[in-house]
Amino acid sequence: MDPLLKANLDHWNDLVAIHSRSRFYDLEGFKAGQSALDALELREVGEVRDKSLLHLQCHFGMSTLSWARMGARVTGVDFSDQAIALARSLAEELRLPAQFVCSDVYSVPQALAEQYDVVFTSYGVLCWLPDLARWGQVIARMLKPGGAFHIIEFHPMLGALDDTEGIQEIRLRYPYFERSEPMRWDEDGTYADLTAHVEHPVTFEWSHSLGEIVDALIQAGLRIERLREFPYCCFAFLPSLMEQRADGWYWLKEHSDSAPLMFSIKATRET
C-alpha cells in the first residue's frame, strides 16, 4: 500500500474505538432508534425504500444502517477493517439487513459485481482521495443506468479557511485548488473527541475545488442534475467564528450569507 494511504488507514483504524464511544456519534442513541442522517441528507437523497444503495466511505456504518431502517437494500464500503468489523457487528445486533465490504474506493469495482440505484457519500470524504478522476469513474461504474449519485460534503471554500484556535477574522490559510502533493497533519485528538489520544496521528489530505469535483463526475459520463451550496454547516469547524442557531446548523457569526460552507450534488447515469 502507498505509505501515505497506509498512514491514513492506521489513523482511521484508531478512530473507530474512539468514535464509537463518543458523545458525538451517540452509538447508544442510534441503537435505541435514532437516525444518524441529518435533515439535509434525507432531503437531498429522498425516498430510498426498495432501492439498492451503495454507501462509499461509510466509517462504521451508522448512516448506512439508517438507510436500511428506511427500507433501502444497503451495502457499505470503507477501507478500515476495524470500521467494517464494527459495522457488521451493529447490523447483526440490530437485525438490520446490510452488507459491509472492506475496500478502498478505487477497488470497489473489483470488490462488488452489483450495480446500484443509489450511490451515496457524505461529510469529510473527498479530502482522503488523491485522484478524483478515478473516483468519478468508480461512481459511474457502480451506478445502474438511470441511477443517481448523491454527495453532501463540506465546501472546499470552508476547507481553505484558517482554523487556528481562537481566530477572530475570516482569512485564507490552506489551498483551495487541487495540488499533487497532499497536506500533512500530525495532530492528536479527533473531531469527535478533541481530548482523545490517537496512536497514529499523522495523516495526509488532498484539496479539491468545487469545479474539479464537478468535472470529475462529468468526465466520467455522469449528468449533473443538481448542485447546491449552503451557508451553514453540520459541524463547528471554526468555533470562534461560528454559532449554532435554532435550526441546529452552524453559521458564521458575521457575513453569514457570504460564504458557502457545504454543498450537495446529484448526478445521474444515462439510461
Query: What are the tens digits of pLDDT across the range 242-266?
Result: 999 999 999 999 988 889 999 999 9
Enter the pTM of the model: 0.97
Q: At CA 134, angle to CA 157 and CA 158, rounded to 5? A: 10
Strand spans (E) along the chain = 52-56, 73-78, 98-102, 116-122, 143-154, 183-186, 202-205, 223-230, 232-233, 242-244, 250-252, 262-268
Q: Which residue has the cell 457524505?
A: 122
CA distance 16 to 99: 18
Positions in the chain whose pLDDT score sits under 50: none
Residue 89 three-state SS:
helix
Relative orientation angle of helices 132-142 and 210-219, to the nearest 10 degrees:
50
Number of H helices, E strands in the chain: 9, 12
Dihedral angle of Cα 4, 180, 83, 137, to the nearest 10 degrees = -130
- Per-residue pLDDT at 180: 84
Q: Spell out the residues 6+ positions from residue 189 whose beta carbon is closer than 8 angstroms to its own.
A: 195, 196, 197, 198
Q: Which uninterrupted H or E stretch holds 141?
A: helix 132-142
- Per-residue pLDDT at 271: 86
CATH H superfamily, domain 3-268:
Vaccinia Virus protein VP39 (3.40.50.150)
Residue 162 has phi, psi (to 5 degrees) of -70, 120
| DSSP state, residue 39 | H
| DSSP state, residue 106 | G
Selection from 159, 114, 165, 105 nearest residue 136 by Cα: 105
Q: Spell out the residues 6+ positions from residue 95 whose beta carbon is closer than 8 angstroms to its own.
A: none
CA distance 20 to 124: 17
pLDDT in tens, 154-177: 999 999 999 998 999 999 999 999
User: What does the domain layout of the chain look like in residue ranges?
Assistant: 3-268
CA distance 103 to 75: 12
Q: Spell out the residues 6+ positions from residue 215 whose beta carbon is closer than 8 angstroms to its own.
A: none
CA distance 27 to 36: 9
CA distance 177 to 9: 24
